[in-house]
Amino acid sequence: MTTPSHSPRGADEPSSPPPGCPAHGLGPGGLRRLYGPEADADLAGIYEKLRAEHGSVAPVLVHDDVPIWAVIGHTEVLHMLRTRTHFTRDSRRLRVVQDGTFRPDNPLAPMVTWAPLISFADGAEHQRVRGAINDALAAIDDRGLRRFIHRSSQRLVNEFCETGTADLVSQFAEHLPMAVMCEVLGMPDEYNERLVQAGRDMTKGSETAVASNEYVMEVLNRHTARRRADPKEDFTSRLLTHPAQLADDEVAQNLRVVLIAAHEGTANLMANVLRMVLTDPRFRAQLNGGQMTVPEAIEQSLWDEPPMSAQLAYAAIQDAELGGKQIKAGDALMYVSSAGNLDPVVRPDPKASMAGNRAHLAFGGGAHECPGQDIARAIADIGVDALLMRLPDAELAVDEKELRWRQTIIARHLVELPVTFTPRPQQDVKLRPTMGGVPAPRSEWEVSTPAPAQRSLATVPAQASAEDRSEQRLAPIPAAPPAGDEEPPRGALQRLLRWWRGY
């Protein structure tokens, strides 16, 4: 069998097969391509063919026919992520980078080309940068964040609630995470349609991905320079002033990781959860019956449709065996969360509910496991909850079968989610200019929603919103209501409720 180590570009290239030929979609060495027409049509189907042909680790080709191992077994993914002596994210070690097979203009370059950022760091260097990012995330005021998410959701709904129709992907799911992350980073003025589109484009592996990456970096370099000169109470300033002493370029590059991971991942998650809410009759019935919560739908969706379906590119540090395959030092590997989540070893019945089980691969694992997952859950939970509260009769405007998806090697997302609903007036939303002051880091800070078993609507009032439920856990003993610039609430109960919700 040909492996990524043994299939230089162009070798054994079959003459172009006609469409419909069984060899269609195969590249040099007879390896399956994870790009091109066949992959665009059904990438998940290719992974299942690979599982049948090769087991949990399969040799494949990505853009420009660059050879790579696709790790598609659940156990093997975790083994690779947790064995730092054998596998690294330092892409300078990749043979395909060293020998020029992977060219700088490859559409996957933003995800593969080494840069001084957390994703490509290893060992002590990774701990230095990760420590700074963890500390900067931990200093976020979780109540202020929840309030901001809620109000941003309301503002977005205000933009279409009077019309009776909306596309929940382009008008809601794609905007909320970027609005929230621009606020977290301290650059709310940079939040605009162009940044939303550039963020999406960078991860599409499209021809314009490199240009979009340049635009995002221009914004982040400018913002970093501004905050270096004038630090404020935000994530960016905390990175710049952290004892880890990150250079400006490091800060800007790491802001890109945070911004893009947060934007792309959370937008996809929200779209997937909204689709589930709108199309899955069991979910709707259960939701009305008070059994299934939005957080449970989020977790199920993270199993069924991980928002980032695959991660590029890990490098083998030394020769190793993985899933029965001989991996050579310098080989490239990618892990496929979507395929790993469907591994029959851990999930014999893919239709079975995964309630209470968070062992999915949607947030990766090992040293590089996503540090922002609780924020992602908070954005999706509060955003979807707010939308359902405002537009409870929203219905899909087309047949579910007509929904279109855009598939790339690293993500699969809904192109649009058109809905109709009874037109409603806008709601008054007074957004403060910032998330508010940032208190000292808390040792037990967590934005996440409780594990599904703990988090049932049965434990909180039936009409409680996402903030109600989470604030109940975060702050069981109400203290004084926060000072705000909004209309004073009437009555003690309302005051308590507003304090409780955090908005």
Measured from the CB atom, the residue of 101 and 253 that comes closer to ligand HEM is 253
Question: Closest distance between ligand HEM and the C-beta of residue 354, in Å?
Answer: 16
419 DSSP β-pair partners: 166, 396
Burial string for 450-482 (b: 16+ CB within 10 Å, else e) reads bebeebbbeebeeebbbbbbbbbebeeeeeeee
Measured from the CB atom, the residue of 65 and 76 that comes closer to ligand HEM is 76
Question: Closest distance between ligand HEM and the C-beta of residue 148, in Å?
Answer: 13
Stretch touching ligand HEM by CB under 6 A, among 187-195, 204-212, 226-234, 262-270: 262-270
161 contact partners, CB below 8 Å, separation of at least 6: 390, 391, 421, 423, 424, 425, 426, 427
Q: Which of 209, 269, 320, 419 binds ligand HEM (CB under 6 A)?
A: 269
To the nearest 10 degrees (0 to 180), the angle between helices 248-279 and 294-304 is 110
Residue 43 sits in the site that holds ligand HEM (CB under 6 A): no
Site string for ligand HEM, 99-118 (x = CB under 6 A): -------------------x
- Residue 433, classified by CB atoms within 10 Å of its CB into exposed (0-12), middle (13-18) or buried (19+), is exposed
- Compute the half-sphere exposure of residue 222: CA atoms within 13 Å on the CB side of its CA: 9
CA distance 240 to 185: 12
Q: Which of 4, 323, 372, 502 binds ligand HEM (CB under 6 A)?
A: 372
For residue 11, the Cα-to-chain-centroid distance in whole angstroms is 36
Residue 370 sits in the site that holds ligand HEM (CB under 6 A): yes
Asked if 447 contacts 275 with a C-beta cutoff of 8 angstroms, the reply is: no
Measured from the CB atom, the residue of 73 and 265 that comes closer to ligand HEM is 265
Residue 186 sits in the site that holds ligand HEM (CB under 6 A): no
- Residue 245, classified by CB atoms within 10 Å of its CB into exposed (0-12), middle (13-18) or buried (19+), is exposed
Can you list the alpha helix ranges (DSSP code H) found in 61-160?
74-82, 95-98, 109-112, 123-138, 142-158
Measured from the CB atom, the residue of 317 and 497 that comes closer to ligand HEM is 317
DSSP E strands, 356-409: 395-396, 405-407
Measured CA distances, 371 to 62, 91, 366, 451 (Å): 27, 21, 11, 17
CA distance 418 to 17: 38
Measured from the CB atom, the residue of 366 and 484 that comes closer to ligand HEM is 366
φ, ψ of residue 315 to 5 degrees: the values are -120, 140
Q: Which of 58, 261, 315, 419 binds ligand HEM (CB under 6 A)?
A: 261
Measured from the CB atom, the residue of 7 and 338 that comes closer to ligand HEM is 338
Measured from the CB atom, the residue of 220 and 308 that comes closer to ligand HEM is 308
Stretch touching ligand HEM by CB under 6 A, among 34-42, 60-68, 371-379, 452-460: 371-379
Stretch touching ligand HEM by CB under 6 A, among 102-110, 237-245, 365-373, 429-437: 365-373
Asked if 303 contacts 354 with a C-beta cutoff of 8 angstroms, the reply is: yes
SS3 (DSSP) at 310: strand
Burial string for 81-96 (b: 16+ CB within 10 Å, else e) reads beebebbbbbbebbbb
The interface with ligand HEM within residues 302-361 (CB under 6 A) comprises: 307-308, 311
Measured from the CB atom, the residue of 7 and 311 that comes closer to ligand HEM is 311
Q: Which of 74, 368, 390, 498 binds ligand HEM (CB under 6 A)?
A: 368
Q: Which of 362, 384, 396, 417 binds ligand HEM (CB under 6 A)?
A: 362
Residue for token digits 């078993």?
453
Closest residue by beta carbon to ligand HEM: 372
CA distance 462 to 261: 33
Question: Closest distance between ligand HEM and the C-beta of residue 184, in Å?
Answer: 7
396 DSSP β-pair partners: 419
The interface with ligand HEM within residues 239-258 (CB under 6 A) comprises: 257-258
Q: Which of 36, 116, 164, 371 binds ligand HEM (CB under 6 A)?
A: 371
* Size of residue set near ligand HEM by CB under 6 A: 24
Question: Closest distance between ligand HEM and the C-beta of residue 182, in Å?
Answer: 12
The interface with ligand HEM within residues 374-403 (CB under 6 A) comprises: 375-376
Measured from the CB atom, the residue of 51 and 89 that comes closer to ligand HEM is 89
CA distance 402 to 52: 30
Site string for ligand HEM, 126-145 (x = CB under 6 A): ----x--x------------
Q: Which of 29, 205, 330, 364 binds ligand HEM (CB under 6 A)?
A: 364
Q: Write out the two tokens for 499.
A: 């304090």
Question: Closest distance between ligand HEM and the C-beta of residue 334, in Å?
Answer: 10
Per CB under 6 A, residues contacting ligand HEM are 89, 118-119, 130, 133, 257-258, 261-262, 265-266, 269, 307-308, 311, 362-364, 368, 370-372, 375-376
